[in-house]
Structure formats: C-alpha cells, structure tokens
Amino acid sequence: TIDAIVILPDHIHSIWTLPEDDADFSSRWKRIKARFSLWCPQSYKQQQSASRLRKGEQAIWQRRFWEHHIRNEADFSQHVDYIHYNPVKHNLVNRPRDWPYSSFHRYVADGAYSLDWGSAEAIDFDEKIGRE
C-alpha cells in the first residue's frame, strides 16, 4: 500500500506498507523507476543537470534510495507532513494543495488535513526528517 507520496521533478518521497513477510524495497524501487522512465516524455529526459552531465548520467532518477522504518504514529505523521509539504519546501508551489502529484488531496478528502494546511506559514521539520 502506498500510504503517502509526492512526485517532484527530480525526486520522489513515499511511505509504503509492505506485506508482513516482504521487505524488498529495492525491487519495488527498480520497477517504479523503470516504469516511470518509460512514461516520462523524452523532452524531460533530455533536461539533465550539469552535475549529471559531468558524471555521464542520463537517468531521471538517482541510483540510490534511503529507507526509513516508521517507528510509531508520531513518526508516521511527521513523515506524511514532510512528504506533502515538499513541493512548497522546493519552491514549486506556494501551497501543498496546488501540487497535483501527491497524495495530499486524498488526505484532505479523508479529513486528515484542511485544504489550507501548509499555506499560512512555513513548516519546520526535525532535521532528521527527509534525510533518511
């Protein structure tokens, strides 16, 4: 199950609940990146950063991923907030509700957020959130 997600131009954040007997994040990320790359317009694939060009990298996604095991409900909530606020953090929009590529609107529909959440003032997160 994808519990929360945001897709940004150069990275993605998500929280998953995997089956009890399955912790294979690597295979899932590999499939997600491959599928997304197939569907991504060629014009986007050609917009590579100077850093990637110097390294000879042409992929859309970075090679690695960071895994964090959610410890409790508070940890889950903080990471969900971080995910949904990420487009604002990266100056892509002024309000989380304006970014269409996230699970934010699902959370609004479920009553977890008001539509204006994250709009009034900047939200500060623990420095460890998003660095896992």
Q: Could you list the active site residues?
A: 101
Long-range CB contacts for residues 92-98, cutoff 8 Å, separation at least 24: 92/8, 92/9, 94/119, 95/119
The radius of gyration computed from the CA coordinates of the chain, to the nearest angstrom, equals 16
Task: Please name the amino acid found at residue 37.
Answer: S
Phi, psi dihedral angles at 66 (to 5 degrees): -110, 130
